[in-house]
Structures are given as structure tokens and as C-alpha cells.
Structure 1
Amino acid sequence: MAEEWQFDVPTTGSKFLPPDARYMEALSSQGYGFEAAIADLVDNSIDAGAKDVVIHFLRDGDALVSLLVIDDGRGMTDEELDVAMTVGGRHHYSPTALGMFGTGLKSASLSHAAAVTVTSRTRKTRPAGRRWVMERAVTGFQCDIVEPRYAQTLIDRYQDCPIIWQGTVIRWDGVKNFPQHGGGGQTDRYLHRTINKLGLHLGLQLHRFLLRDDFNITIAVEDIRSRDVYMNFGVVPLNPFGYPVTGHRDYPRTFVAEVPSIGRVELTAHIWPPKSSLDEYKSVGSVLERQGFYFYRNGRIVQAGGWNNVRQPEPYLSLARVDVDLPADAGDVLRLSVKKEGVEATPEFASAVERAQDASGRAFTEYIADAQLTYREARKRSGTQRKPVIPPGTGFAPAVKESIEEELPILPGEQPIAAQWRKLAGDVFFDIDRDTRTIALNRRYRAAILGGRGGTLNDAPLLKSLMYFLVHDIFETEFSGPRVKDNLQLWQSVLVSAARAELNQLDDESGESG
């Protein structure tokens, strides 16, 4: 006879097992993206009541040396700094706080920097500081105490911008993705690219805060020798529901999902107008990835798109976005990731969404059908005016492929057109390979086109898009007539001259930096 299964495991006591110091390595290896890490620090500033946050890149000539996040929040005392710098140290968050796990400051910072220094001042206390250096942290959780005079100096450096009476400065040193060699304009390119992505990310995740009159985020770059500040601009809110005219007259509309474990969850469903070129729709990632649920926790986006197993993404739902405020107690039904970049939903939530209805009894499934129909009708209107094309394939950025497929009807059953860098003769810029249906680009000019940056499979999206529109219809026939051949010769001549000019300019810049 089988023994009855015992669910309660008997124990004889307990013992204290502190984490190994190497836990800090695990903490800093959670896959934080750069933008998500900075956003986590800004969350702390908001929780501290900050009105102004400055993200400050410091450079010394061509070398980037540090990154700082400064706010005019309430600041911290010595004791509060100890709690803030302790892993898991913040145990008592208010119900409206953006922080919740007590690991964000440490994990986000040490994922991207060899050391993080925090100095802070309250209205009633002098500046104090703590510093985690990764090398020391992993040998015994040794957190350094910042010399008080230096803490005062760092706070004073940002007096009136933005710190007035109190505030906090977080400093990253040894930032891992800073360019190691800044010559040839590499640092400037890095800053332009990184600041643009960071501004878009913060503008989306924190758009509800940025839409307020009393909250601002500024990104700036300063040369520490000349003290010149440039690239100084405010982050613009990107409201993912900020369309001027709805795509469907019956929306937005609020549905209610009755989730047994947590109660009512409101789903405010929106349909974007087709073919929108607004930044709020197209700037942050692929529109295919941005359809679906936008979960907010205390006013901050913690998931921007995705259907959480309610359904799969599809092009016909590219206009569908659903605004959801997470309940104060979501239990295990809607679990937030530590990085605040996703929500894990149980099947209980998916089932409740499928049954959701609005006040008049309209089902959420009807919203899905309306969003699909709005997209299809827009495609039909385009199809009557534009000639079907062979779609782009390998080598084209996903956003480019999506945009072309949105704007143009696609020839069914056709092998897509690829774009590829190849070794070609110096007197040609491109070649048409009908056999493999490929636009071959001359690898000799790749570095010039990319401005010295390293290449990837989907690099040079602007050039490849223009090349696609120049030559895509050539792949629809087996032979090229005299007019097409003359056009090809014309394009070759002009593009080779332009590429050589780019190459010469790159050489000149490299010579000047040397």
C-alpha cells in the first residue's frame, strides 16, 4: 500500500545562511539595458519628490569619463544612505512608490559601471556619501564611506542646477559601454545615438510624469576641462495613446475583466489611426511589438506592448493598444519583473480578458475584430492606388520591413529581396543579383556609410531603404531594357562619387583626430 503523501515537510529548526559576497555579481547580471537602468534611477528621484532630474554625461576631450543622475528630491541622511545602498534594504515603500524590490539602485548601476557613488543632502543634514566598487563588493559586501568634503564638493557642483536646498547625486564610473577610443568622432556618434534612445525610452516610460507642469528630465553633456555644456535638452513625453484623432469612432472604450483572485481590472482599449507617422506611434521600437497591453504601475509604464498570452501579435493588430493600470495588490496574477520591463500574467488573467465586457455588454473580442478591420480597410484603400511589390527580406531592419508592408500591397508567394554587403569592384556601388534576389552593396564603402561604426546584419537602414525603392521593380522581370540599364549606370556613377566623398571625409576626420 502506497504511503499517503505528506504536504507539510517536518523540520527540526533553522540556521542563518547569509549570501556569499559573489551574490553581487549575480545582482549585476540581470540583463538591465542601459536605458532601463537609468530609468530605474529616475524612479528613485521621483519617489524622493524630485521636480527636476538631470542626466549628465561628463567628457574629457574625446573620452567619456562619468555619468551622473542628479535630482532635487528630499535627499538622504547617513542612516538612510546605508539603507539605500544595502541590497534589498528598502523594505517599507509607500503604496504609491515606483520602487518595490530594494535592488534597483545597486543592480542597475553595477550592471553598467565598475563603481557607483551616491552623495546626498537633506534640508537638515550635511552631505554624506557611500560608494560601491565592484571589486570590493564581491569580496565581502564592503561599501565605502565617501569623505565628507568630497560629498560636499559633488553636491555643490550641482547647486542651483538642479539642487536647491536638498538633493542626491548618483555617479557612475567605469561605464562599460562608453567608447574605449573616442577618436574619429566616435564619442560624438555614441552620444547622439545613446542620448536619442535614452530620451525616447524615458519619454515613453515616464510620459505621465513628464506631462505634468512640475516635473522635468534634462539630458546634458559637459566637457570637464572647459566646463562647456552642450547637447542640453529636455526629455519630451511620448504618450502611446497620444493620437489627435481616433482610428475608430467607437474608441477609446473601457472594458472590465473580472479576475477571480484580484477583482476588477479595467482595460481601456484604443485604436490608432492608420498610417500614423507620429513619434508616439512609431519612434519607440517596432509597431508590431508595441501593440497590446500597456501596463502602468503608479503612473509609470512597466510594460509597453504585448498580449501576455491572450493572443499572438499580428500585423492586423498594429493599431490596437490597451491601457491598463495595475491593481494595488495584483498578487501572483500580474507579476512585475525586477527591471520593470514586463508583466508576467497567469492564465487566470488571459481567461478574464477573453470574457471582458464594457458597460453596454460589448465584448473585448469585438474590440479585437474592430482593430483588425480598421487596419484591413486602410490596406484596401492603399491597394487600389499602389502597385504590389516584392517585399524586403534579410538585411533590412524590421521597422523598415514593417513600414513597407504597411504602405504597399505585397506580391504573394515571392522570395523577398535581400540586402547584403559584398566584395565588389571599386568602380561600382551596388550590383543586382537576380539569381539570389539580392541587392549587393560594395563592402569597400561600408565604413564610410556607417561613419566608422561597426556593421550589423540590418545596418544602414536609410541607404538600404532608398536602394530598395530604386531597384525593387527590376527583380520582377528577367531582363532589363535600355532605359533601365541607363538608369543603373546613372545611379552607379552618382553613388560611387558620393561614397568616395564619404570615404575621403572619414579619412580627413581620422587624420585630424590623430
Structure 2
Amino acid sequence: MPYTPGANWQYDVPTTGSTHLPPDAGYGKALTNQGYGFEVAVADLIDNSIDAGADKVVVHFLRDASRILTLLIIDNGKGMDEEGLDAAMTVGRRRDYGEGALGMYGTGLKAASLSHASSLTVVSRTRRSRAAGRRLTAEGIEDGFRCDTVDPRYAQDLVDRYDGIIEWQGTVVRWDGVRSFETVGRGQSDQFLSKAIARLETHLGLYLHRYLQNDLKLDIAVWDVSSGDSLGEEVDHIAVEALDPFGYKVPGKAGYPRKFTAPVEGVGDVQLTAHIWPAKSKQAGFRQIGSLTARQGFYFYRNDRLVQAGGWNGLRNPEGHLVLARIAVDLPARANSVLSLDVKKENVTVTPAFTLGVEKAVDSAGHTFSGFLADAEAAYRDGSRRTEIVRKAVTPPGKGLDPKIKRVIKEELPEKADEEPISFTWGSLPPDQFFALDRASNTLILNKTYREDFNDGRRGGVNDAPVTKTLLYLLLEDCFGLGRWERGRQDKVDYWNTILLASVDAQRARRAQAAS
């Protein structure tokens, strides 16, 4: 209908046609500055692996003697053919997501990757297609969104290198030119990786805990490619364990958890599962996922993936006496205008309709949500009055000890502040030494001559001989971080070595007898 000047101007804007305006190449700058944290970006890529049906994912750091080279994420999902790769690497293309998918906006792969790396390569194969790959770079985006085709021989070689994960199908995502890696000074790679992996392990263990508690196997590995072996040598390996923010053994108050129903206008009934942690709990799901004050409040899930870990979303301010209060909320399956998730899947924005509904929430027995908050506060105050035995702080264990053991040590013993973790390695030592201490680098060295004796005749992996290493840690932890080295302490180290060597001889004698 032609526009009549002055008519209905306040209700509608008339148009006379349209034109398509493709994004300018300068959009690449915005794409690479989305504010993704490193752990958040990696988690976003693993979401894609889960959507592809993967039950095995490895986050793989490659390094050489002096620097960190690149990061790869490998999965055994259904993979992509050439057409699928083109679609995945098209900036701004949104695919159709299934009802239970973790992906939402179609930008995560590109935005998360290019926020940290100058080059993103994806190599994949399906059961019916050969290995193929695409590479997207910041320069390519500026050059009219150019995407490079990976040499098929390289694509096949890369898939073959990870045949322990990718059998008939799977995907490798590779980051090159990772900006945080390039800022690591010479000789600082070990320290950087130790801290980066610890943060990544905690983040993935928390935000993917429901998947890890089911079928997902998620590992973080470090390979040194400077060795003579063409594949390199594995120097660290961590199996990521679930960090359940509701994983207490006994609740902080009898009768919990309780399921409340909140009437939320615009959504309908929203289920709230309210939990009260036991006071002063040392469990990893309570203590090791960040500040207790920040972690109180709502835990929003979307399709079993945690997308917000704590916070009150305007209902109230965080308070010390509510640190035991946590509420699990599964977001409704259908889109709505009340609860919206940000692109990075880190935070949920709510309108006042949600908080008003929470204030009216009740459970089947008539208990109110405000009563839950009062119970959580009472449990905290009761716990604060109990006296607690204060255990001596220790230097934490580091690389070379099984992560499950490290987590229990962390739960049981407070850590010394700003102390480098004690790492474990097998090295060349004289035959009259079972172990040696390198106190300058906080390293406990075990004699590699005896390695097979504690691994049932096998070489073992990075985190092998867990009982032996744990006992040595408990014996020797207080030998690190000291000032003057006393003569009596050296004498203990000497006779511990002698006694442990006798245990090795006894172990070998038993093995020989069993074999005869």
C-alpha cells in the first residue's frame, strides 16, 4: 500500500523494497573479540563434540623443549564431510539444532577459536567420507571471508595420528598462533601449563559434570614433540572428573534437597531444586569450584549442560551466611522472553517475572522458598559454632600424580599459598638411590631403573605407580620449601632410600618366584 504522508506514522514503518547486504570483512574484528575466556572457549568446542555424539574427547597441548606450540581437541563423534565442513566454517551460518543440542547460535566454533588463536583448522572424517579439512584465519576473514582447503594428505595423516580416539569417524579442531601461548617466556612453559590445565580441569569438570557422570570420557594431555619419536612423548595426562556442585554425601539440613515450583509469568511453572550443603565441607564440589560467596545461588542447566554456576540474578545480594544455599534450575525447552542465555553460555539473564515467581515458590508440603533461605542460614550459623581441628598446610602435589589423588589431598589438607606444586618424574639415578629431591624445582625424582617393578612389569603412563608416589609425597612433602637443610633431615632421606631399595628387592624376588 503506498504511503500517505502523515497517516499512521506512529504504528508502522512502510518500505518500498529491499537489498541484501553481506557482512563487511571488518566483521572479523568483532568475531575475534567476543570476550571468551580460555576455559569457556574450550568448553564451547567440546559442546560441539557432544552434539556430534562423541563419548571420548581429548584436549591436547603440543609443546617442544622451549615453547607451547598448539592446542588440539579430538573427538570420536560422527564427523563431517566436505559439505559439512563448509557449513561449519561459514561465518554467520546458523544450522538447525536438535531439541537436546548444546549449540545455539552457530557462532561458537569460529568466535571461541579466533578469540584465542590466529588460525582455526578443522579436520574430520565420517564413516562414509575420507578425511578432509578447512582452515580459517583472521587474514582470510579480512580477505572476503576466505576459507582454505586443507591438503587431504595432511588431513588423513592427522586423523591417523589419533587413531586411538578416531576410529571410523571423528573430528580434530586445531588452534595455531594461540596468543596466550606466545606470551609465555622461555623456561616458563611448565609453570604456565600447570596453571592453565588446573583451571581448565576445574571448569570442564564443573560445567560438564552431568555428562562426565554418565558416558563422557574427557582427558587433557600434554605431548612433547621435541623427542626423537615422530609422535613425541606424553609428559602429562589428566582424566577430567566430574565436579558436582550438589555432590554432598549428607545434606546440611535434614529434609533437603526440596523441589519447589515457581509460577513464572510468561513461562509457566519452573522447577527449583534447593540444596543446603553441610557446613565446612571439604568436598571438591563445594570448595574447589571458586569463591564460596560467588558460588551460592542459582545453577542453571540447559540440556544437562551447566550454563551458570551461582549468583542470585537480582533476587538478592550474595551474603556470607548463605554460602550453603544452591538451587538447580533446568531451563525450559522452549524459547521465552523471561530467561535468556548469552552466546558464551556463561550467564543467564532474567526478567523480574522470574524473581517474582521464585519469591512465590512452594514445595508439595507447603514449604516456602524464603523458608529454604532461612534453613540455609541456620545451617551455616550452627556450623560456624563448631570447633574444627586445623590441619597443617602442605605444598600441593602436581604433575605425575593421579588427579583423583590430588583432589582428595586438596579436600583433606589446606594448601600453602604461592607454593609451586611438587611434581613427580622418573629419571636416571645411582643404583643406591630409589628417589632424589630437586628442591630448586620442587621435583621428586624416582629412579627409572625400578619403574617396571611398580607397574607390573610395564612402563606405565605419566601418572603411574600411584600408591608409591602418594606414600613418597606424604613422607617428603615437608622437605620442600624449607630454608636451611638440616643434617638430621638428610639422614632420614638416606635411610628411607635404603629401606625402599630393600622393598624393591623383595618385590623382584616375589615376581621371580611367581614366574618360576
* TM bucket normalised to smaller: 0.7 to 0.9
CA distance in 2, matches of 1:143, 1:268: 46
Q: How does 1:373-412 map to 2 (within 5 A)?
A: 373-382=378-387
Residue in 1 that maps onto 2:202? 200
Tell me the alpha carbon deviations over residues 118-146 of structure 1, each in whole angstroms, 9 at most, x when there is no partner. 00000000011110111221231111111
Residue in 1 that maps onto 2:240? 235
Answer whether contact 1:179 1:187 (CA < 8 A) is retained.
Answer: no
Give, as a single letter, the amino acid of the residue that structure 2 aligns with 1:175.
V
Provide the secondary structure at the position in 2 that maps to 1:170. strand
CA distance in 2, matches of 1:29, 1:282: 32
Answer whether contact 1:128 1:152 (CA < 8 A) is retained.
Answer: yes
Residue in 1 that maps onto 2:476? none
Give the C-alpha shift of residue 496 in structure 1: 7.2
Tell me which of 313, 332, 339 is aligned to 1:334: 339
The runs of at least 4 aligned residues of structure 1 exceeding 4 Å deviation read 2-5, 448-451, 494-498
Give the C-alpha shift of residue 380 in structure 1: 3.1
Residue in 1 that maps onto 2:167? 164
CA distance in 2, matches of 1:62, 1:263: 57
Residue in 1 that maps onto 2:130? 126
Q: How does 1:334-483 map to 2 (within 5 A)?
A: 334-382=339-387
Q: CA 1:115/1:266 → structure 2, altered by over 3 Å: closer, same or farther?
A: same
Give the C-alpha shift of residue 362 in structure 1: 1.3
Give the C-alpha shift of residue 19 in structure 1: 1.2
Give the C-alpha shift of residue 337 in structure 1: 0.6
Give the C-alpha shift of residue 376 in structure 1: 1.6
Give the C-alpha shift of residue 91 in structure 1: 2.2
Are residues 1:139 and 2:134 paired? no
Provide the secondary structure at the position in 1 that maps to 2:179. coil
**Structure 1 residue runs without a partner (length 5+):** 387-418, 420-447, 452-493, 499-514
Are residues 1:274 and 2:275 paired? no
Give the C-alpha shift of residue 89 in structure 1: 2.2
Deviates further, 332-341 or 369-378: 369-378
Tell me the alpha carbon deviations over residues 153-200 of structure 1, each in whole angstroms, 9 at most, x when there is no partner. 11111112x11111000000000111545433x100011111011011
Tell me which of 311, 314, 321 is aligned to 1:306: 311
Residue in 2 that maps onto 1:53? 57
- Of all paired residues, the percent bearing the same amino acid is 55
Provide the secondary structure at the position in 1 that maps to 2:83. helix
Give the C-alpha shift of residue 310 in structure 1: 1.0
Answer whether contact 2:184 2:192 (CA < 8 A) is retained.
Answer: no
Q: CA 1:450/1:27 → structure 2, altered by over 3 Å: closer, same or farther?
A: farther
Residue in 1 that maps onto 2:80? 76
CA distance in 2, matches of 1:181, 1:301: 31
CA distance in 2, matches of 1:183, 1:16: 50
Q: How does 1:80-159 map to 2 (within 5 A)?
A: 80-159=84-163
Give, as a single letter, the amino acid of the residue that structure 2 aligns with 1:345.
V
Give the C-alpha shift of residue 497 in structure 1: 5.8
Answer whether contact 1:68 1:170 (CA < 8 A) is retained.
Answer: yes
Tell me the alpha carbon deviations over residues 440-482 of structure 1, each in whole angstroms, 9 at most, x when there is no partner. xxxxxxxx9999xxxxxxxxxxxxxxxxxxxxxxxxxxxxxxx
Tell me the alpha carbon deviations over residues 286-328 of structure 1, each in whole angstroms, 9 at most, x when there is no partner. 0100000000000100000001111111101100000110000
Give, as a single letter, the amino acid of the residue that structure 2 aligns with 1:89.
R
Q: CA 1:337/1:156 → structure 2, altered by over 3 Å: closer, same or farther?
A: same
Give the C-alpha shift of residue 68 in structure 1: 0.1
Provide the secondary structure at the position in 1 that maps to 2:173. strand
Tell me the alpha carbon deviations over residues 407-440 of structure 1, each in whole angstroms, 9 at most, x when there is no partner. xxxxxxxxxxxx9xxxxxxxxxxxxxxxxxxxxx
Give the C-alpha shift of residue 279 in structure 1: 1.1
Residue in 2 that maps onto 1:218? 219
Give, as a single letter, the amino acid of the residue that structure 2 aligns with 1:282.
R
CA distance in 2, matches of 1:223, 1:33: 25
Give, as a single letter, the amino acid of the residue that structure 2 aligns with 1:351.
L
Give the C-alpha shift of residue 259 in structure 1: 1.2
Residue in 2 that maps onto 1:249? 254
Residue in 2 that maps onto 1:487? none
CA distance in 2, matches of 1:147, 1:304: 42
**What value does the CA root-mean-square deviation take over the aligned residues?**
2.3
Provide the secondary structure at the position in 1 that maps to 2:117. coil
Provide the secondary structure at the position in 2 that maps to 1:197. helix
Answer whether contact 1:262 1:330 (CA < 8 A) is retained.
Answer: no
Provide the secondary structure at the position in 1 that maps to 2:291. coil
Answer whether contact 1:256 1:356 (CA < 8 A) is retained.
Answer: yes
Answer whether contact 1:179 1:190 (CA < 8 A) is retained.
Answer: no
Provide the secondary structure at the position in 1 that maps to 2:133. strand
**Structure 2 residue runs without a partner (length 5+):** 1-5, 391-416, 418-439, 444-480, 486-516
Answer whether contact 1:218 1:235 (CA < 8 A) is retained.
Answer: yes
Answer whether contact 1:59 1:221 (CA < 8 A) is retained.
Answer: yes
CA distance in 2, matches of 1:137, 1:343: 30
Tell me which of 171, 175, 180 is aligned to 1:177: 180
CA distance in 2, matches of 1:14, 1:3: 22
Provide the secondary structure at the position in 2 that maps to 1:352. helix
CA distance in 1, matches of 2:306, 2:182: 30
CA distance in 1, matches of 2:54, 2:217: 9
CA distance in 2, matches of 1:60, 1:45: 27
